[in-house]
Amino acid sequence: MAEKTMPSINTESFEQSLYRLSKKPGVKAWLMLDRTNGAVLKTNGQIAAVRPARSANSKTSLPSPTGGSFSTDVTANTDNETHAAQELASMIWSFISTAGSLVDEIDSEDELKLLRLRTKKHELVIVPEVKYLLVVVHDTPPV
Protein backbone atom coordinates (compact mmCIF):
# COMPACT_ATOMS: atom_id res chain seq x y z
CA MET A 1 0.00 0.00 0.00
CA ALA A 2 1.35 3.44 -0.90
CA GLU A 3 2.07 5.78 1.98
CA LYS A 4 0.23 9.11 1.96
CA THR A 5 2.54 12.03 1.37
CA MET A 6 1.83 15.66 2.02
CA PRO A 7 1.69 17.65 -1.21
CA SER A 8 4.57 20.00 -1.75
CA ILE A 9 3.62 23.35 -0.29
CA ASN A 10 5.40 26.65 -0.27
CA THR A 11 6.06 27.37 3.43
CA GLU A 12 5.95 31.13 2.90
CA SER A 13 2.54 31.01 1.21
CA PHE A 14 1.30 28.64 3.91
CA GLU A 15 2.40 31.09 6.62
CA GLN A 16 0.71 33.92 4.72
CA SER A 17 -2.51 31.89 4.53
CA LEU A 18 -2.41 31.29 8.29
CA TYR A 19 -1.81 35.00 8.86
CA ARG A 20 -4.79 35.91 6.64
CA LEU A 21 -6.91 33.35 8.45
CA SER A 22 -6.09 34.91 11.81
CA LYS A 23 -7.26 38.32 10.52
CA LYS A 24 -10.70 37.10 9.37
CA PRO A 25 -13.64 38.59 11.28
CA GLY A 26 -14.73 36.43 14.19
CA VAL A 27 -11.61 34.25 14.28
CA LYS A 28 -10.49 34.04 17.90
CA ALA A 29 -7.57 31.66 17.52
CA TRP A 30 -6.12 28.73 15.61
CA LEU A 31 -3.96 25.82 16.62
CA MET A 32 -1.85 23.46 14.58
CA LEU A 33 -1.37 20.06 16.20
CA ASP A 34 0.95 17.23 15.25
CA ARG A 35 -1.13 14.50 13.61
CA THR A 36 0.80 11.63 15.22
CA ASN A 37 0.72 12.70 18.88
CA GLY A 38 -1.38 15.87 19.25
CA ALA A 39 1.50 18.11 20.32
CA VAL A 40 0.92 21.82 19.76
CA LEU A 41 3.07 22.91 16.81
CA LYS A 42 1.81 26.49 16.41
CA THR A 43 -0.89 28.72 17.78
CA ASN A 44 -2.19 32.17 17.12
CA GLY A 45 -4.79 34.20 18.96
CA GLN A 46 -6.10 34.20 22.48
CA ILE A 47 -6.63 30.57 23.42
CA ALA A 48 -7.07 31.44 27.12
CA ALA A 49 -9.96 33.77 26.21
CA VAL A 50 -11.72 30.82 24.58
CA ARG A 51 -10.89 28.26 27.26
CA PRO A 52 -8.76 29.38 30.22
CA ALA A 53 -6.20 26.92 31.57
CA ARG A 54 -7.65 25.00 34.51
CA SER A 55 -4.38 24.51 36.35
CA ALA A 56 -1.06 26.04 35.43
CA ASN A 57 0.77 23.47 37.54
CA SER A 58 -0.83 20.34 36.11
CA LYS A 59 0.99 18.32 33.50
CA THR A 60 -0.80 17.63 30.25
CA SER A 61 -0.58 14.27 28.55
CA LEU A 62 0.66 15.76 25.30
CA PRO A 63 4.33 16.12 24.44
CA SER A 64 5.99 19.38 23.50
CA PRO A 65 7.05 19.85 19.90
CA THR A 66 10.49 18.66 18.88
CA GLY A 67 13.09 21.07 20.17
CA GLY A 68 11.14 21.74 23.37
CA SER A 69 9.64 25.10 22.43
CA PHE A 70 6.69 26.48 20.58
CA SER A 71 6.78 28.52 17.40
CA THR A 72 7.46 32.25 17.51
CA ASP A 73 3.70 32.81 17.46
CA VAL A 74 3.51 31.39 20.98
CA THR A 75 6.71 32.66 22.62
CA ALA A 76 5.23 36.07 23.39
CA ASN A 77 2.28 34.49 25.22
CA THR A 78 2.11 33.90 28.94
CA ASP A 79 2.37 30.54 30.67
CA ASN A 80 -1.42 30.64 31.00
CA GLU A 81 -1.77 30.83 27.20
CA THR A 82 0.64 27.92 26.78
CA HIS A 83 -1.21 25.77 29.31
CA ALA A 84 -4.57 26.73 27.81
CA ALA A 85 -3.34 25.73 24.34
CA GLN A 86 -2.01 22.40 25.62
CA GLU A 87 -5.21 21.61 27.50
CA LEU A 88 -7.42 22.53 24.53
CA ALA A 89 -5.17 20.49 22.24
CA SER A 90 -5.54 17.49 24.53
CA MET A 91 -9.34 17.74 24.42
CA ILE A 92 -9.34 18.19 20.64
CA TRP A 93 -6.95 15.24 20.23
CA SER A 94 -9.32 13.05 22.23
CA PHE A 95 -12.33 14.29 20.24
CA ILE A 96 -10.69 13.74 16.84
CA SER A 97 -9.47 10.27 17.85
CA THR A 98 -12.98 9.26 18.90
CA ALA A 99 -14.53 10.73 15.74
CA GLY A 100 -11.93 8.96 13.58
CA SER A 101 -12.71 5.65 15.28
CA LEU A 102 -16.42 6.20 14.65
CA VAL A 103 -15.82 6.81 10.94
CA ASP A 104 -13.59 3.74 10.76
CA GLU A 105 -16.23 1.58 12.48
CA ILE A 106 -18.93 2.81 10.08
CA ASP A 107 -16.84 2.30 6.94
CA SER A 108 -13.19 1.23 7.10
CA GLU A 109 -12.57 2.58 3.59
CA ASP A 110 -13.73 6.10 4.52
CA GLU A 111 -11.81 8.83 6.31
CA LEU A 112 -12.53 11.89 8.41
CA LYS A 113 -12.16 15.11 6.40
CA LEU A 114 -13.66 17.89 8.55
CA LEU A 115 -15.29 18.37 11.94
CA ARG A 116 -17.37 21.36 13.02
CA LEU A 117 -18.34 21.73 16.65
CA ARG A 118 -20.72 24.61 17.29
CA THR A 119 -21.66 25.93 20.72
CA LYS A 120 -23.56 29.03 21.83
CA LYS A 121 -20.32 31.01 22.01
CA HIS A 122 -17.81 29.44 19.61
CA GLU A 123 -17.39 27.17 16.65
CA LEU A 124 -14.39 24.90 16.24
CA VAL A 125 -13.52 23.80 12.73
CA ILE A 126 -11.05 20.92 12.72
CA VAL A 127 -9.31 19.94 9.50
CA PRO A 128 -7.24 16.76 9.69
CA GLU A 129 -4.34 16.76 7.23
CA VAL A 130 -1.67 14.13 6.68
CA LYS A 131 0.93 15.63 9.05
CA TYR A 132 -1.10 18.00 11.20
CA LEU A 133 -4.53 18.99 12.48
CA LEU A 134 -5.64 22.58 11.90
CA VAL A 135 -8.14 23.87 14.44
CA VAL A 136 -9.82 27.24 13.95
CA VAL A 137 -11.88 28.76 16.75
CA HIS A 138 -14.27 31.54 15.84
CA ASP A 139 -17.31 33.29 17.25
CA THR A 140 -20.67 31.75 16.54
CA PRO A 141 -22.56 34.30 14.45
CA PRO A 142 -25.87 35.53 15.90
CA VAL A 143 -28.99 33.78 14.65
* Amino acid at position 53, single letter: A
Q: Which CATH code fits 20-139?
A: 3.30.450.30
Residue 129 contacts residue 9 (beta carbons within 8 Å): no
The DSSP secondary-structure symbol of 119 reads -
Q: 13: exposed, middle or buried (C-beta count within 10 Å: 0-12, 13-18, 19+)?
A: exposed
Residue 63 sits at the vertex; the CA angle it makes with 58 and 69, to the nearest 5 degrees, is 95
Residue among 96, 104, 100 nearest 125 (CA): 96
User: Where do the structural domains in the chain lie, given as residue ranges?
Assistant: 20-139
Instruction: Write the pLDDT tens digit of every residue in 7-64.
Output: 555 677 878 888 888 888 889 999 999 999 999 999 998 888 888 888 644 444 444 4
- Cα dihedral: 26, 29, 33, 39 (round 10): -160
Element (H, E) at 141: none
pLDDT at 80: 85
Tell me: the pLDDT tens digits for 77-113?
468 888 999 999 999 999 999 999 999 999 999 999 9
Q: What is the per-residue pLDDT for 61?
A: 47
